[in-house]
Amino acid sequence: MSDRRTAILEAAATVIARRGVRGLRVEELAAEAGVSKALIYYHFEDRTGLLRRTLAFVNNRAERYTAEQAAAGQPATEAPAAPLRRLEQALLLELQDLPYVRENSTAWGELRASAVFDPELRGELALASVIWAREVADQLGEVRPTAPESALTASAERLTALLEGLSARWLSGILPLTDARTRMREAIGVEVAHLARLD
Amino acid sequence: MSDRRTAILEAAATVIARRGVRGLRVEELAAEAGVSKALIYYHFEDRTGLLRRTLAFVNNRAERYTAEQAAAGQPATEAPAAPLRRLEQALLLELQDLPYVRENSTAWGELRASAVFDPELRGELALASVIWAREVADQLGEVRPTAPESALTASAERLTALLEGLSARWLSGILPLTDARTRMREAIGVEVAHLARLD
DNA sequence: GTCTATAAAGCGATAGAC
DNA sequence: GTCTATCGCTTTATAGAC
């Protein structure tokens, strides 16, 4: 992939985080990326195509830093609480006031909201959701190895949906970040206890 | 309020549910309401004024049917499971594929998404969130009268945030409605069990 | 691949008749 | 109160040069 293309996608994430998907103007994007409008239409069919690619880009970037965070876990030591801590870390990663995280979360929220009215975006969205839920379900499975698979899947879907709800509230300024993080941590505890009861 | 005015507001809710707040075109709204564009500008200052009024209209309508549903509860009989059933009913009310509900949920999601970029909308949003959480916390308190107040508040906040997350997924077509309803019911069970353990 | 210039369409808003 | 007709700005998208 060319540098320009990537630069445009990065700029798109930035502009979307600033103005929203519906507020994104190709002209502003061109200025942000430091290219001409025409080049954007050269690299991406049209506005919707650009949005689709941006969604994929944002997803990849999120996966990347999730993986990095996971790699930065415990080295050789084998603490028994490690799986639970890793799970918490993964879920709380999206509830941080860092530029990258905020940008990704905002763009993700916007693209999800846009998908309500633009079915073209749904494929990408559904895929990312499934992958994300699968990952959380796996980590739950490491915390509670004897819990049935179906219960893990359901718990993971609840936790990821809750994360999106909390994130939306945080980003729209109606819930302080610390509250969102607390609610998320509590929910993990509640779900893990629930899974324990099923054993 | 004139019939025409109300008809325009109803049509606006319909069009917003179909195209989103930023996708609402005055021309399409006029067609939907069966009036001319000019009449819309006669009744509402401009596009923004129209949106503000529409959101107020949608809020009122939601309060109305929530109240109706509450009134349609058990009459004189006093079943012990009634509070739990009322709680479930209240939360699952927003996860139904009825035109009114879909319109209201969509408009609400749009409003919340818009608030990320428009701080002016946050006051109304925060107020509605608090009222809604308070209501759920009260109903949880009826199910588990001995649970501490702080735990009820936290549970209610988790449940309402989850509802918003599930609703967003349902409306954006990445989660079937029946799954969303199942996850919501499970979450209520999990939270109630959690509150029971605190006693 | 990248640009400048421009076409084409979309869309909010108003004027003026009835 | 309600309509038809239209203005004028904004924004997407393309043509064509380099």
Tens of pLDDT, residues A101-110: 999 999 889 9
> What is the b/e burial string over B124-149, where b = at least 16 CB atoms within 10 angstroms of the residue's CB?
bbbebbeebbebbbebbbebbeebee
Q: Which nucleotide is nearest to A39 (CA to C1')?
A: C2
A1 pLDDT above the threshold of 70: no
Q: What angle (nearest 5°) sits at the alpha carbon of residue A160, between those of residues A159 and A161? A: 95
pLDDT at residue A80 in the model: 57
Hits for CB < 7 Å against strand C across A residues 19-78 = 34-39, 42-43
pLDDT band at A63 (very low <50, low <70, confident <90, very high): confident
Query: Please, are residues B32 and B14 in contact by the beta-carbon 8 Å criterion?
Result: yes
pLDDT band at A100 (very low <50, low <70, confident <90, very high): confident
Domains of chain B: 51-198 (1.10.357.10)
Query: Please, are residues A121 and A55 in contact by the beta-carbon 8 Å criterion?
Result: yes
pLDDT at residue A81 in the model: 63
Could you tell me which chain B residue has the CA closest to the CA of A116? Answer: B172
- Residues contacting residue B18 through CB under 8 Å, at least 6 positions apart: A117
Q: Which of A63-77, A122-136, B162-176 has the lowest mean pLDDT?
A: A63-77
Q: Hey, which bits of A75-170 come out as E strands?
A: none
Average the pLDDT over B31-55 and give the result: 94
- Residues contacting residue B147 through CB under 8 Å, at least 6 positions apart: B140, B141, B195, B196, B198, B199
- Chain B segment 137-156 residues within 8 A of A by beta carbon are 154
Q: Which of A19-23, A45-49, A81-85 has the lowest mean pLDDT?
A: A81-85
pLDDT one-digit tens code per residue, B88-106: 999 999 999 998 899 899 9
Complete DSSP assignment for A81-101: THHHHHHHHHHHTTS---HHH
Would you say the C-beta of B19 is within 7 Å of strand C? no
pLDDT band at A97 (very low <50, low <70, confident <90, very high): very high
Could you tell me which chain B residue has the CA closest to the CA of A24? Answer: B22
pLDDT at residue B115 in the model: 84
Would you say the C-beta of A26 is within 7 Å of strand D? yes
User: Which residues in chain B have Cβ-Cβ distances shorter than 8 Å to A106?
Assistant: 116
pLDDT at residue B73 in the model: 62
Q: Which nucleotide is nearest to B23 (CA to C1')?
A: C11
Regarding predicted confidence, which is higher, B38 or B117? B38
Average pLDDT of chain A is 92
The pTM (predicted TM-score) of the whole model is: 0.93
A136 pLDDT above the threshold of 60: yes
CA distance A84 to chain B (A): 18
* Helix pair A177-198, B149-171: axis angle to 10 deg: 90
Average the pLDDT over B54-74 and give the result: 80
Regarding predicted confidence, which is higher, B49 or B123? B49
pLDDT band at B173 (very low <50, low <70, confident <90, very high): very high
CA distance B76 to chain A (A): 35
pLDDT band at A4 (very low <50, low <70, confident <90, very high): very high
Query: By CB neighbour count within 10 A (0-12 exposed, 13-18 middle, 19+ buried), where does A47 fall?
Result: middle
What is the CB neighbour count within 10 angstroms for residue A9? 23
pLDDT one-digit tens code per residue, A10-20: 999 999 999 99
> What is the b/e burial string over B157-185, where b = at least 16 CB atoms within 10 angstroms of the residue's CB?
bbbbbbbbbbbbbbbbebbeeeebbebbe
Q: Which of B134, B159, B138 is nearest to B147 (CA)?
A: B138
pLDDT at residue B47 in the model: 92
Q: Which of A65-74, B44-53, B138-147 has the lowest mean pLDDT?
A: A65-74
Would you say the C-beta of B22 is within 7 Å of strand C? no
Average the pLDDT over B14-34 and give the result: 94
Within an 8 Å CB–CB cutoff, is residue B181 touching chain A?
A: no
